[in-house]
Amino acid sequence: MEHVVSPQTTSHTHQNFLFETPFQHYCHGLEPFNSKISNFKTTGLVEEAQTPFDEMPHRNTVNYNAMIRGYFRNGFYENAVYLHNQMPARDTFSYNTMICGLMQYGDVEGAEKVFEKMECRHVVTWNSIISGYVDNEMVSDAMRVFDAVPSKDVVPWNLVIAGLVKVREFDKAEEIFKLWNTMICGYVQIKFIEIAEGLFYKMPETDCNSWSVMIDGFLSIGRTNDALRLFKEMPQKLQKIWNSIMLGFVRDSLIKEAHAVLEKNPFSCTVSWTHIMIGYFNMGDVENAMKVFELMPKLVIQLYGMSPYLD
């Protein structure tokens, strides 16, 4: 049966053609070429990409970059280097692609030359060169570049720590790790809790100080529920953290919640129970305040093995 195209469809297609700009028409003409080049990165069929690339009437940096990435990804190292050198113009993505590709093949010197040629280095550029050094176990060079990064995001910190651990430089990794905790603490102190929280969750590894700083940060701005959530996730709970959570609930007049935390606290003391009792009194809940008061002599004997009363 013959396929019939409706007049409405024909009219619509003809209308699009009539109102298409020369630039749009040019871009549409390149779509088959771009499609085959893009597929090269995943299929690895070099001839299916090379032929349309060679036949393109005009090539831009996007076409070149796609081909170079495809070459590197599929093992055509020399082709990638040759094509990069033939590019009439390069953008930041071109340089970053070369740095990653050369480092991947162990051509550290070549990657360094590309890096040195760049007048304007993006954060991705810095991360790429650091990552390359780490992958090639040249951690001292990674540290050198890390120190030179003008504005560090989370990625270079992770890369350097991972690299130091990889070559068993645990002391240096710990030094960097302490700096990370210092950054989180600094953001907490100036009440940039969202930034501190983002750093916390991106840390390659956390310690008790990291958890403590973040919990105190949440409590300092009244985000008690977030503090409690983090407290529950905390693998090892210190006495200081138990007390901080309880006092945070007391400060927000959530006395029953504070009481519940205290009952589970293995480090509870008479001072903690006094805070709960006073909290109940301040809330006007005399009944529960008296229950805590009557319970306290038993707690003293249990905790300290002595009577609170003088003979």
pLDDT score of 99: 92
CA dihedral (240, 245, 251, 255) positive or negative: negative
Residue 291 C-beta-side C-alpha neighbours within 13 Å: 9
Selection from 191, 221, 196 nearest residue 209 by Cα: 196
d(CA 193, CA 185): 10
Q: Which stretch of 40-44, 76-80, 118-122, 198-202 has the lowest confidence by average pLDDT?
A: 40-44
**Averaged pLDDT for residues 228-254:** 81
Residues 6+ apart with CB under 8 A from 136: 103, 106, 108
More confident residue, 255 or 270: 255
In which band, very low, low, confident or very high, does the pLDDT at 38 lie, cut at 50, 70 and 90? low
pLDDT digits (tens, 9 = 90+) for 143-184: 898 888 887 766 787 788 878 877 787 777 777 777 777 778
Selection from 289, 263, 262, 265 nearest residue 278 by Cα: 289
Selection from 60, 84, 63, 87 nearest residue 72 by Cα: 84
**pLDDT above 90 for 242:** no
pLDDT score of 1: 39
**Extents of the domains making up the chain:** 237-311
In which band, very low, low, confident or very high, does the pLDDT at 49 lie, cut at 50, 70 and 90? low
Residues 6+ apart with CB under 8 A from 100: 72, 128, 131, 132
Percent of the chain with pLDDT over 70: 77
pLDDT digits (tens, 9 = 90+) for 112-153: 999 998 888 888 888 899 889 988 989 889 889 888 888 776
State the DSSP code for 169: -
Q: Give the DSSP per-residue string, 63-127.
A: HHHHHHHHHHHTT-HHHHHHHHHH-SS--HHHHHHHHHHHHHTT-HHHHHHHHHH-SS--HHHHH
pTM score, two decimals? 0.52
